[in-house]
Amino acid sequence: MKLNQKIAIVTGGSRGIGKEISRNFIKEGATVIAIAIDERPQIEENEKSDFPEDRFIYYQADITDFNAISEIVTEIYNKYQKIDILVNNAGMAKDNFLVIMKEEDFDKVIQVNLKGTFVMTKAVAKIMRKQKFGNIISMASVVGIEGNIGQTNYSAAKAGIIGMTKSWAKELTMKGENIRVNAIAPGFVRTGMTESLKEELIEYVVENTCLKRLGEPQDIAKLAVFLASDDSSFITGQVIRIDGGLRI
């Protein structure tokens, strides 16, 4: 198993891509601590073997609240005596055209996607620097690289995550620590977020994707396992697109 006895924190780890990452990490031997704003999810009967209670621990918390997150991270470290992996997956979208985008919608998306990633990483990085190892994976997006119509706030947040990823990869190895920092930049993935998109937009995206389909959460989860494992031990500071060949 590629992640045997690893301790992993996954934000937004109870649904969509985050849930699939949690499932795959557990399958590979990790203990997953999921942190999300929602109440603890109900695990379906047919999923209980994928999410055993002793290896899928859930905290309900606001990832933008540094004091709350710092307490949780300290509690996790005190219990397990290490934190191997952090996956910054939690995020949200509030799309609209620039001229009619509400200021509060801009602020909320930046707060959750960008500040939340900063807060989580700041809290965990203190421990990883102390233990001199760790692995940080943040969820960016192709729109953080290319931009997208109607997504000023989301594009800005994801571009910011890319910038932070490259900065942290340099900063968190300054004293010889073995801390790797990478980002995943998905294209359009079949999740609750994309279910609200108009059918004609989905058709347009599929037509302009080389592999002629949307991504699945499992596609992203497999890449996360690779980046979290020793298979990628010489990869850091990278932004890896996983978009089926969208607009190449």
Query: Side by side, which strands form the sheet with 56-60?
Result: 56-60, 31-36, 7-11, 85-88, 133-139, 178-186, 239-242
Q: Which of 137, 195, 177 is nearest to 13 (CA)?
A: 137
Query: Token match 């058709």: residue?
Result: 203
d(CA 178, CA 48): 34
Catalytic residue among 58, 59, 77, 154: 154
Q: Crossing angle, helix 66-80 and helix 116-131, to 10 degrees? A: 30
Give every CB contact of residue 7 below 8 A, 6+ residues apart in sequence: 30, 31, 33, 76, 80, 82, 83, 84, 85
d(CA 119, CA 246): 31
Q: Active-site residue 154, yes or no?
A: yes
State the catalytic residues: 154
